[in-house]
Amino acid sequence: MNAQLPQQEKISARFLSSPYLPLLVLASIWIIMQVILFYRFGLVTGFEAEKYIYEANYFLTNGTVSTPNYWLYSVQIFLIAAAVKLKMGLFSVAFLQLLFSALAAYAFYKFIAGISNWQTAFILTLLLIANYPLQTFNTSLQTESLFYSFTILFSCFLLRLKKLTAGNLVKIILFLLLISFTRPTGVLLVPCSFLYLFFRFFKPFTVFVKSIITIAVSIGFLFFLNAALGSGGALDFMLPFRDERIICGVPTLPGFIDIKTTENPNSLFGLLYYITHNMGQFLRLALLRSKAFFGITRSYYSLPHNFYLCLYFYPLYVLVALSWRNWLKKNKFLLLYCTSVIAINWLTVILTCDDWHNRFFLSITPYIYILAMPIVQQLTGKLKS
């Protein structure tokens, strides 16, 4: 009997050192998190999900959406329409959301493990799975669940590229189109992706070729962005400035104030005109929206909720700040991509407003985890030793 103990210990040691063990633990935690969320919230078809369910039924009846801006959410609308048409039930859409959420977590783990070690990958993926505000969207038929998953899958694919081939470029373009028609803010990944590819892979190209590519991509991005700004529907980009709202849908003023705008404010020129002719108000609102964006807490949240947000996210800011020099030395291209994603989302909030439930901030949390990696890796190394 005693002779069997060393053999059992060896088997246990091999199991504990298996590369699959961290994935099994993470998968178990992910399943528990989703079960808890669905038990608490069920399948959420209210709030913003109502809009996409309505548009899906409208599309099945009329062959189009009610207003052009809803084409920018067409991935979610088409999935719901397909579920209704095929009589598969709305839970089939939630199942797809869960599937892509699981794939995103797995891709995130593999990416971090590939550039550090499994211990660091385990901790950062655990943070992603334990991000309760982000995971709650898996229970809702809003666009956020798929959007977050697609952006993580895309970024992990992009940052793992060893060389830029024609096939990879096609995949990148198709991926960006998918993300941009899941949520219109997906278009913000276009300039970030271009900057990353440009500085990492375009070194052998001449200045002339670089200039042609830069101009072509810039014109295409600006054309798409200008079209998105003027797509109609409920979009009014001067409204958050007229009533000085910090949180979207929550006006700060009881009425509207007179600001200088053009005849077509829903355009890039309209935004630039507003900034240059209302500089004082713009800078004040930019500061308040930045505080709401990075501060995360809300006056309408409970004290425990705000405390959880501070305890969960604020230490990550410190880890990112401490990791900055490491990234500059070892992988400045990854630093460029992640920083540009965070910066462009921050700029978008400054030019519009922040979200009631921090949805815009949640979209940048995977990049905060990635940027915190060097210090986390050092800490895991000390624990191992």
Predicted confidence (pLDDT) per residue in 181-205, tens digit: 999 889 899 889 988 988 888 776 6
Asked if 134 and 122 touch (Cβ cutoff 8 Å), the reply is no
SS3 label, residue 260: coil
Tokens describing residue 82: 């397909």
The candidate with the shortest Cα–Cα distance to 365, out of 347, 338, 384, is 338
pLDDT at residue 221, as a whole number: 63
pLDDT at residue 232, as a whole number: 47
The candidate with the shortest Cα–Cα distance to 320, out of 373, 273, 281, 366, is 373
Q: pLDDT tens digits, the chain, 385 residues: what are they?
A: 455 556 555 554 554 456 678 899 999 999 999 999 999 999 998 888 999 999 999 999 998 988 888 888 999 999 999 999 998 989 999 999 999 999 999 999 999 999 988 999 999 999 999 999 999 999 999 999 999 999 999 999 999 998 888 899 999 999 999 999 999 889 899 889 988 988 888 776 666 666 676 676 666 666 666 555 554 444 567 778 888 888 887 877 777 788 887 777 666 777 788 888 888 888 999 999 999 999 999 888 899 989 999 999 999 999 999 999 999 988 889 999 999 999 999 988 998 888 888 899 999 999 999 999 999 998 887 766 5
Tokens describing residue 263: 């005849």
Tokens describing residue 169: 């470029």
| Spatial distance between the Cα atoms of 37 and 78, rounded to a whole number of angstroms | 25
Asked if 231 and 180 touch (Cβ cutoff 8 Å), the reply is no
Give the other-Cβ count within 10 Å of 321's Cβ: 12
Sort 230 into a burial class: Cβ within 10 Å, 0-12 / 13-18 / 19+: middle
pTM exceeds 0.75: yes
Q: Who contacts 97 (Cβ-Cβ below 8 Å, separation ≥6)?
A: 138, 145, 146, 149
Q: Who contacts 266 (Cβ-Cβ below 8 Å, separation ≥6)?
A: 229, 230, 235, 236, 237, 238
| Spatial distance between the Cα atoms of 129 and 148, rounded to a whole number of angstroms | 12
pLDDT at residue 46, as a whole number: 85
Q: Name the CA radius of gyration of the chain, rounded.
A: 23
Angle CA 124–129–135, to nearest 5: 140
Tokens describing residue 268: 């890039």
Asked if 361 and 293 touch (Cβ cutoff 8 Å), the reply is yes
First to last CA, the chain: 34
